[in-house]
Structure 1
Amino acid sequence: MSDIVDRINDVHRKVGTRAVPEGEARTVLLRRTYDANADDVWDACTDPERIARWFLPVSGDLKLGGHYQLEGNAGGEVLHCERPRLLRVSWLFGENPGFSEVEVRLTPEGDERTVFELEHVAVTPPEFWDTFGPGAVGVGWDLALLGLGMYLLTGESVKDPEAWQVSDEAREYMGRSSEEWGVAYEASGAAPETVATAVRATTDFYAPPAPGSAAPETSETPGA
């Protein structure tokens, strides 16, 4: 197994719900510790030039009350900004996005380590959640945290992200991520058969079988 795929074990994942004015929201939480101080991690997550090196190009007014837009992805408003500990933004995509927010929390652990938490809270259409479960956004955030970790360690991210995302290594990483989100989903109280269906749909979306290849055998219980 490659070192990159091993990084899947660096992340703690949790699935839950939260009441918001718009209704009941689904939550996914990722927690990982980086070998970097909190100021460095904060700058990597808030400086437009640095964000583009490990995530996506971003434009806009990146300050409290300002609006941002990630290239080809979400946009929104900076709702809370407390350097170097707390960043909360609305996370809107499409014509009718509904309620969706992302909060990043940083906690120093000594002088050169930082506990990084990312929580995505969104009111999700039931039919979408029933099909994909938490992995729909969870796998994407796993990829983002992987990119941030590589960048903080080396100053570089994946040199050719588009080529890497169709590599065997990336497919294995995304498949493992989907399974781990299944484990977190079941821990939240979801039925095993519901979890298995969601894991299969999420894995097929992110890492569909290569043309002409046989579908891999999978356990009925993701992560087993």
Structure 2
Amino acid sequence: MTKQATGRVVITDGGRDLILERYFDAGVDDVWASITESERTARLFGPWTGEPGVGSVVRVTMGFEEGAPVMPMTITACEPPRRLGVHSQDEYGEWNLEALVERDGDRTRLTFVHHLDAAANAAEVGPGWEYYLDALVAAENGRAAPDFDDYFPEMSAHYGGA
């Protein structure tokens, strides 16, 4: 089943931001725990090790990527339970990521922002983030993870012009 792309790319003073939102029936603290506690991030993209804190480097095992590579990520912002920022760099470019958690009526909204570097191809990274965020929603609701083939390359055209 092909999924519908939900993200958008916004031009900013610093370049471009890829922005995606997901909603949860859980509270802010629970959603925060889902993106910060290693046991719970393991369900989303992979567990991490290290000492958390702004300026610290944690090592994230990318459990759903080929070969389960370990990616060092520097924590650039941590304002529990509202804002988390991380930065990493690998052969594919820079990963400046931000997650914002807030109450929106009777639900909690997670806004995920990938501050794209000049070399980033939104048509390649957009479908991946859609998949990971839907995997988080599935984990939170006790459902099986989605199938990546429903995201890529189907969603690439949605992000292709950005």
TM category (shorter chain) comes to 0.7 to 0.9
2:114 to 112, 115, 120: 120
Aligned equivalents of 2:123 and 2:26: distance in 1? 27
Determine the structure 2 residue equivalent to 1:44.
Answer: 34
2:155 to 177, 201, 212: 177
Structure with the larger strand share: 2
Local SS of the residue matching 2:97: strand
Determine the structure 1 residue equivalent to 2:124.
Answer: 136
Greater relative contact order (CA < 8 Å, ≥ 6 in sequence):
2
Provide runs of 4+ in structure 1 moved above 6 Å: none
1:150 to 134, 138, 148: 138
Any conservation in 2 of the 1:12–1:32 contact (CA below 8 Å)? no
Instruction: For 2:150, give the aligned amino acid.
Output: E
Distance 1:86 1:136, change over 3 A: same
Distance 1:19 1:74, change over 3 A: farther
Determine the structure 1 residue equivalent to 2:7.
Answer: 13
Displacement of 1:157 in angstroms is 4.6
Local SS of the residue matching 1:91: strand
Structure with the larger helix share: 1
Rg bigger for which structure?
A: 1
Determine the structure 2 residue equivalent to 1:216.
Answer: none
Structure 2 counterparts to residues 196-207 of structure 1, below 5 A: none
TM-score by length of 1: 0.60
State the Cα deviation string for residues 22-80 of structure 1 (Å, max 9, x = none).
Answer: xxx33211112222211111001000111112211222222222111222154321111
Distance 1:143 1:90, change over 3 A: same
Local SS of the residue matching 1:120: strand
Length, aligned pairs only:
155
TM-score by length of 2: 0.80
Aligned equivalents of 1:101 and 1:80: distance in 2? 11
Distance 1:121 1:53, change over 3 A: same
Determine the structure 2 residue equivalent to 1:213.
Answer: none
2:43 to 24, 46, 53: 53
Displacement of 1:15 in angstroms is 1.0
Tell me how large the CA RMSD over aligned residues is: 2.5
Instruction: For 2:118, give the aligned amino acid.
Output: T
Give structure 1 stretches of 5+ with no counterpart.
Answer: 159-163, 191-224
